[in-house]
A and B are shown apart, each in its own frame.
Chain A
Amino acid sequence: MEGEDADQRQVIIDSVKSLLQPQKIAASREDLEQASQQLRTIAPYNFDAWRLHADLLLKALRQLETREIQPDPSFTLLAIPLRENDIRDAAEAALRQCALFAHSNETAIALIDEANSVRRPTWF
């Protein structure tokens, strides 16, 4: 049973990965929603899963920044409303979680740096 679960999870991860691959045409809102729904079926349990969460949120963030998609609080990705600051907070948290599962210190440092680079600017 456990082996089957792992296989199923890997299939979902691969599918989401392919959705998030850079393509000629940018991922649409529907693509992001589909990836989000697929990811919600699996609990993030390792480095790859958290990385995928983070990548999905980062993809959405880039598209919000380039105005390819418009902010929409009623639309959620991984239960996060599609607003720049909320997406930034979630992406930062996901990257910090990812760093906890990193295999090396260098990777962990790079992930924390990345988390800090995407976080919303604050005064303190």
Chain B
Amino acid sequence: MTKIKIEPIKYIVRSCTQNVTPVRLKLFLVVNCLGAILFGLLAVATVQQHERAVKTLGFDAAPSVIAARQIKIGVEQMDTDLVIELLNPSCQRSTSWAAEDFDKWRLIVCKQLVAAAKNITYGLTEQTPIENIQSSLGQYEMQAQKALDMHDLGHHMLAVNSYRAALETLEHQLLPSADALHKANADALESSYGQEESQAALSCGFVAVIGMLLIGLLLVTQVYLARRFRRRLNLPLLIATFCLLFFVQKLYSTLMHNSSHLKVAKEDAYNSVIALLDVRADSYEANAAMGRWLLDRLNANEHEKTFSDKANTVASFAPGHDFSETLELAKKQYAADEKFNLPGFSGSLADEFNNVRFEGEGAAALGALQALNDYRIADANMRKKAKSAAYDAALAIGLGYDPHAAKFSFSKFDDAIERTLEINQYHFDRAIKEAMSDLKGLALMSGGICLLVLFCIYVGLRPRLFEYVRPI
């Protein structure tokens, strides 16, 4: 058995090493064709790998990550609106804007939930949190309605008790599920993006090397034919060489271009979008906790702690640094058109400052920092008033829209964050679109070039091989 297998191999190897023209020609034909096929397959695989990386980032994971964060922001805002409704005198509730806002955010949450459900890519890790959000959202709405009904009937304590039940659902079911949905997609995105990116870079280099080797092989064949047959140029082989040279250059530059678009989408835009969504989610949670602090005085300490924790997640300062010092430094760096470098500043807003890349993004981020500073001042004033028994004044600061009230600066802060988000979202969408258009038709072109090169190799070598065919 061994002999049968080894003999043909030995024969082929021995034949290949003979310096006999037709044998050499056949060897060149086979090696060139195999090289062209290998190059074609590698090129198609590499293009597909890049397409997968773009698809993972732009279409599978990122929209779900964003939807998960929007759901969290939405339910937090619903809770804030509910608190505002409960803080309003019952006679004013039916005409309150908070009721309209509650409905508006409820619809946003529902839409984002549908968007997330339509884009389930990672199985149960995504499906289970979506189902949990769906069921707990219904429960939360019923409990919220019960609190409002009690409030309308003038039973303040019963309303607050019902609200606590709704808050329980929010904190223990809705928010953890939204976080789980976010984590499932964010983790999948980070791992698959990192993997796809390194594999794509590796295969891009590999396909370029194989392409250059094939060009070298075609040139060796050309030189062999010129010497052996005294024909200076073999036109089909020359066409194949130039086509391949052009295509390898185009493929490599396109894939490099695609990688840079992907880098812009992921590292410049997506990372900022995530940091900003975190800023928004945490600040909405802090803002909701601020309202709760006014409503549920019995658990005021707990709500104050939640506020402080969430506000610090957005922006916190190391000892020796504070808001005003950081803000001044940021303004100076912005005016000098320098990259932001704010020592002692951490949190999700700091992450955004460290990743400012696009035009207008720095100004919007600076606006957000300024508004957050105003908001924190208003919050401190409100707590001071409440602690000095001026509850109505505290309420006016907490719910009011005058320039010194918390809602005013929070709205300004939210607008600035939204502007920054829009800038990053625009660049993310554009980079993904450009990355997709880079790759459009490239796999087909790779296949076409591979077939053309194969045809040219055959047409180029066939007449020379036929010189050695003897008529029977």
Residue count of chain B within 8 Å CB distance of chain A? 15
Chain B, residue nearest A113 (CB): B21
**Which of the residues B230, B235, B468 comes within 8 Å of A112, measured between beta carbons?**
B468
Given the known inter-chain contacts A100-B470, A100-B471, A108-B468, please indicate yes or no for A113 contacting B233, CB distance below 8 A: no
Q: How far is the CA of A2 from the CA of B469 in the complex (A)?
A: 33
Which residues of A sit under 8 angstroms from B471, Cβ to Cβ? Answer: 100
Which residues of A sit under 8 angstroms from B336, Cβ to Cβ? Answer: none
Shortest Cβ distance from residue A103 to the other chain B in the assembled complex, whole angstroms: 11
Q: How far is the CA of A108 from the CA of B467 in the complex (A)?
A: 10
Residue count of chain A within 8 Å CB distance of chain B? 17
Chain A, residue nearest B20 (CB): A109
Q: How far is the CA of A30 from the CA of B229 in the complex (A)?
A: 33
A74 within 8 A of B: no
B387 within 8 A of A: no
Provide the A91-121 mask, 1 if CB < 8 A to any CB of B, else 0: 0000010011010010011001100110111
- Specify the main secondary structure of chain A where it touches its partner: helix
A123 within 8 A of B: yes
Provide the B452-472 mask, 1 if CB < 8 A to any CB of A, else 0: 000000000000000110110
Q: How far is the CA of A100 from the CA of B470 in the complex (A)?
A: 7
Q: Is the CB of A112 within 8 A of B21?
A: yes
**Which of the residues B230, B234, B235, B470 comes within 8 Å of A116, measured between beta carbons?**
B230
Q: Is the CB of B467 within 8 A of A121?
A: no
Provide the B220-237 mask, 1 if CB < 8 A to any CB of A, else 0: 000000001111111100
Q: Which of A99, A100, A116, A122 has the most CB of B within 10 A?
A: A116
Shortest Cβ distance from residue B239 to the other chain A in the assembled complex, whole angstroms: 12
Q: Which 9 residue pairs are nearest across A and B when measured between Cβ atoms?
A: A121-B230, A116-B229, A123-B232, A119-B230, A112-B467, A108-B470, A122-B231, A113-B21, A112-B468
B residues lining the A interface (CB < 8 Å): 20-22, 228-235, 467-468, 470-471
Add 15 more A-B contacts to A116-B229, A121-B232, A124-B232 (CB < 8 A).
A108-B468, A108-B470, A109-B20, A112-B467, A113-B228, A116-B467, A119-B230, A121-B230, A122-B230, A122-B231, A122-B232, A123-B231, A123-B232, A123-B233, A124-B234
